C-alpha cells in the first residue's frame, strides 16, 4: 500500500513538473513569455491546421522578414499569421487561407515567430484541441 501511494505521489510530481516547468523552461529557451500557441482557426491552412500546437521564438525586429509566420497580440488575444508586407513602423500579416490582409501591426505587439525546422513550423498536430476544449469549458 505504501508503494502504491509513493508511485501516485511520484507521478503527481512528474505531471506537475511538466505542466508547470515545461512552459517556464521553454520561455527561457525560446526567449518569449509565450513559448507555445494553439491554432484556433483554419486561417493558416494548409501549413498549420486548427488544433496544431506551435512553438514561438522571441525575435528582434531586425530578424523579421516577409514570409515569416509571427504571433502578435490583439484585443481578443493572439493572431498567428504570415508577414506579407513590412516597413520601419509596422508590418502587415495575412492568414494563408484568408483573402484579405490584417490591419497593420506595430512591432511592439509581436510576441515572436514560429519556431521552424527546415523552413517549416515546428508543430504538434491535434494536441492544441486540449487547450481549445479547456478554454471553451472555462468560458461557460
pLDDT one-digit tens code per residue, 32-88? 989 999 999 999 999 999 999 999 999 999 999 999 999 999 988 899 999 999 999
Query: Exposed, middle or buried: residue 110 (CB in 10 Å: 0-12, 13-18, 19+)?
Result: buried
The pLDDT tens digits of the residues spanning 83-123 come to 999 999 999 999 999 999 999 999 999 999 999 999 999 99
pTM of the entire predicted model = 0.81
Name the more confident of 25 and 64.
64
CA distance 79 to 39: 9
Instruction: Please give the residue that has the higher pLDDT: either 71 or 134.
Output: 71
pLDDT of residue 93: 98
Confidence of residue 25 (pLDDT cuts 50, 70, 90): confident
Query: Long-range contacts made by residues 49-53, C-beta under 8 angstroms, separation at least 24?
Result: 49/125, 50/128, 50/132, 51/125, 51/126, 51/127, 51/128, 51/129, 51/132, 52/123, 52/124, 52/125, 52/126, 52/127, 52/128, 53/123, 53/124, 53/127, 53/128, 53/131
For residue 73, the Cα-to-chain-centroid distance in whole angstroms is: 11
pLDDT of residue 137: 64
Amino acid at each position: 500500500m505504501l508503494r502504491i501511494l509513493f508511485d501516485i505521489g511520484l507521478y503527481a510530481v512528474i505531471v506537475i513538473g511538466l505542466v508547470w516547468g515545461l512552459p517556464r523552461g521553454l520561455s527561457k529557451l525560446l526567449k518569449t513569455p509565450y513559448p507555445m500557441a494553439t491554432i484556433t482557426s483554419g486561417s493558416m491552412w494548409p501549413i498549420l491546421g486548427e488544433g496544431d500546437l506551435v512553438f514561438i521564438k522571441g525575435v528582434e525586429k531586425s530578424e523579421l522578414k516577409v514570409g515569416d509566420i509571427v504571433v502578435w497580440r490583439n484585443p481578443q488575444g493572439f493572431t498567428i499569421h504570415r508577414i506579407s508586407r513590412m516597413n520601419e513602423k509596422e508590418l502587415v500579416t495575412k492568414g494563408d487561407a484568408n483573402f484579405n490582409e490584417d490591419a497593420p501591426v506595430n512591432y511592439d505587439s509581436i510576441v515572436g515567430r514560429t519556431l521552424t525546422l527546415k523552413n517549416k513550423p515546428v508543430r504538434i498536430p491535434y494536441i492544441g484541441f486540449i487547450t481549445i476544449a479547456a478554454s471553451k469549458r472555462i468560458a461557460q
